[in-house]
C-alpha cells in the first residue's frame, strides 16, 4: 500500500499589525508663535491583540508643544492586530513620526 504524506503544517506564519484607521493630529495654534515651519513628533506605542493603542509615549520631538496633539491623535488609531499562526498578539515597539507644517 502507498501512503499519501500528510501536508506539512504551516509553522511561523506572521502577519504584522496594519492600520485600518489613522486620525491626523490637529495643529495646535497655541504652538504657532514658537513653531518652526515644520515640527515633528516621534511616538512609540504598542498595538494590542484587539487592535487598540497602548503604552503610547513621545520618543522624540522638535517642539514639546506638539506632543499632546500627537498623542491625542494616536490614541484614536485602530489596527488589524499582529497575528502569529492565526492568533492575535500584541505588536510592541511600533514607531510613527507625526509632521506638523505651519498653516
pLDDT of residue 11: 62
* 36-52 confidence digits (pLDDT tens): 999 999 999 999 999 99
- Dist CA 30 CA 67 (whole Å): 13
- Work out the pLDDT band at 2, boundaries 50, 70, 90: low
pLDDT of residue 5: 63
- Look up residue 102 and give its three cell numbers: 505651519
pLDDT of residue 12: 74
Q: For residue 76, what are the CA distances in angstroms to 15, 22, 30?
A: 22, 7, 22
Comparing C-alpha atoms, which of 43, 42, 53 is closest to residue 81? 53
Amino acid at each position: 500500500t502507498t501512503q499519501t504524506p500528510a501536508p506539512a503544517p504551516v509553522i511561523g506564519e506572521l502577519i504584522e499589525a496594519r492600520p485600518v484607521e489613522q486620525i491626523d493630529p490637529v495643529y495646535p495654534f497655541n504652538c504657532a508663535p514658537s513653531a518652526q515651519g515644520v515640527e515633528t513628533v516621534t511616538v512609540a506605542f504598542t498595538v494590542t491583540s484587539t487592535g487598540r493603542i497602548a503604552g503610547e509615549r513621545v520618543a522624540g520631538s522638535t517642539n514639546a508643544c506638539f506632543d499632546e496633539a500627537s498623542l491625542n491623535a494616536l490614541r484614536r488609531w485602530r489596527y488589524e492586530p499582529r497575528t502569529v499562526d492565526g492568533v492575535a498578539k500584541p505588536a510592541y515597539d511600533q514607531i510613527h513620526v507625526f509632521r506638523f507644517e505651519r498653516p
